[in-house]
Structure 1
Amino acid sequence: MRRAVVATTGISALVVTLLALKPHQPPALASGAIRGPAAGPSAHPPTGGASGAPAGTGTFTGDPVDTSYGTVQVAVTLAKGRITAVKVLRAPDGNGRDRQIASYALPRLTQEAIGAQSAHIDAVSGASYTSQGYVRSLQSALDQAHG
């Protein structure tokens, strides 16, 4: 009986330690320098943000990011440097499952981006490729706004 208590306590301590060490964000998503073949200067100029407007004001279109399941592209609207809206311009839609994943993942990613006021957000479980594409496109739009 004593061995079972010691073993259970040891395993519980190990699980708690491992959970405490788990990063909040995947390392690839945590860095702002995520670049891939689809990244780089955008061919889409920002809309809004007319001359005389404060830096970081207007709507900025992110780069289209190709994922294993389709292309993801977003446009971010900023007011005085704050994210006020994110519009999904392109999302994976090759089949019903892709559309289903996009329909639950993209609103959550948008909500997180507005709450975090950055592209440093958690991926949605079950939609890791779509999440990565979203983050990369969002980051490119934010880079345009601030660059």
Structure 2
Amino acid sequence: MRRVTLWIVSTIAAVVLLLSYRTSLGGGNAAAGTAVILAPSASGPGGRDLTVNGSVVRTRWGPVQVQVKINNHKIVDVRALRYPDGNDRDAEINGYALPQLRAEVLSAQSAHVDVVGGATYTSGGYLKSLQSALDAAHFA
């Protein structure tokens, strides 16, 4: 009788644990929220300045969100608002990956750049968030 009771309690505990276990935070595929245009303004004849926050992209290691500044139809700045920072390894990876991604985006003037080796998830989230910001700004 004790074995049966122990088996039933163990089975119930295992089922509860399995049902409550979160397997991922979206696998980098789902964006939480939408891009937001923060500061549109005139910048001279025919041009405009825009500051746009991209959507928050959930990756395996944490959320990623970027902000892009556009002046006269050119990307003039990109910065990461959110990125994985849960431990020292995250800080190390993002310390070299984020500046590389920024430089590549400014050079290419688009979100169509290569991911940084060793920071694949962060790079993917960064580029998806950037693309959502560019889409919201109607940047071609």
| TM-score normalised by structure 1 residue count | 0.68
Deviation at 1:51, TM superposition (A): 6.8
CA RMSD between the two structures: 2.2
Are positions 1:141 and 2:133 aligned together?
yes
- After superposition, residues 35-46 of structure 1 pair within 5 angstroms as 36-38=29-31, 41-42=34-35, 45-46=36-37
Aligned to 2:102: 110
Aligned to 1:48: 39
Flag structure 2 segments of 5+ consecutive residues without an equivalent. 1-27
Aligned to 2:66: 74
Mapped contact 1:64–1:137 kept (Cα < 8 A): yes
1:131 to 106, 123, 127: 123
Partner Cα distance (2:32, 2:41) in 1: 25
Rg comparison, structure with higher value:
2
Mapped contact 1:39–1:140 kept (Cα < 8 A): no
Are positions 1:91 and 2:104 aligned together?
no
Aligned to 2:55: 63
2:92 to 85, 89, 100: 100
Describe the SS at the equivalent of 1:73: strand
1:37-67, CA deviations, whole angstroms, 9 ceiling, x for partnerless residues? Answer: 216633xx31221379757631000001110
Describe the SS at the equivalent of 1:123: coil
1:69-125, CA deviations, whole angstroms, 9 ceiling, x for partnerless residues? Answer: 111100000001100000110010011101110110000000000000000000001
Flag structure 1 segments of 5+ consecutive residues without an equivalent. 1-34
| Percent of aligned pairs sharing the same letter | 47
Describe the SS at the equivalent of 1:140: helix
Q: Which amino acid aligns with 1:109?
A: L
Describe the SS at the equivalent of 1:146: coil
Partner Cα distance (2:41, 2:49) in 1: 8
